[in-house]
Amino acid sequence: MSTSNGYPAILFQDVWKSFDLHAGQILLRDRLRHMFQSHRPEKFHALREVSFRVQHGESVAVIGHNGAGKSTLLNLTTNLCRPDRGRVEVHGGRVAALLDLGAGFHPDLTGAENVCINAALLGFSRREVRKQFDAIVAFAEIGEFINEPLRTFSSGMIMRLAFSVATSVNPDILIIDEVLGVGDLAFGAKCRDRIMQFRRAGKTILCVSHSNDTLKDLCERAIWLHHGRVMDDGPIARVVEAYKSAMQEHALHSAG
- CA distance linking residue 70 with residue 226, whole number of Å: 9
Specify if 91 maps to a domain: no
Instruction: Check residue 180 and give its pLDDT.
Output: 61
- Domain membership of residue 237 (yes or no) is no
Determine how β-strand 221-226 pairs with β-strand 229-235.
Answer: antiparallel
Is residue 211 assigned to a domain? no
- Residue 163 falls inside a structural domain: yes
Domain count, the chain: 1
The reply to whether 44 falls in a domain is no
Is 154 part of a structural domain of the chain? yes
From first to last of its 256 residues, the chain has per-residue pLDDT tens of: 444 467 999 999 999 999 877 655 566 666 666 666 665 667 889 999 999 999 999 999 999 999 999 999 999 999 989 999 999 999 988 888 888 777 778 999 999 999 999 888 888 888 999 999 999 999 999 999 999 999 999 988 998 898 899 888 888 999 988 766 555 778 888 888 898 999 999 999 999 988 888 889 889 999 999 999 999 999 999 999 999 999 998 888 777 6
Q: What was the pLDDT predicted at 35?
A: 62
In sign, the C-alpha dihedral spanning 113, 192, 11, 103 is positive
Contact 201, 170 (CB under 8 A): no
SS3 115: helix
Q: What angle do CA 194, 202, 164 make, to 5 degrees?
A: 25
Confirm whether 113 is domain-assigned: yes
Range of the domain at 131: 108-170
Say what the pLDDT of residue 169 is: 80
What is the reported pTM? 0.83
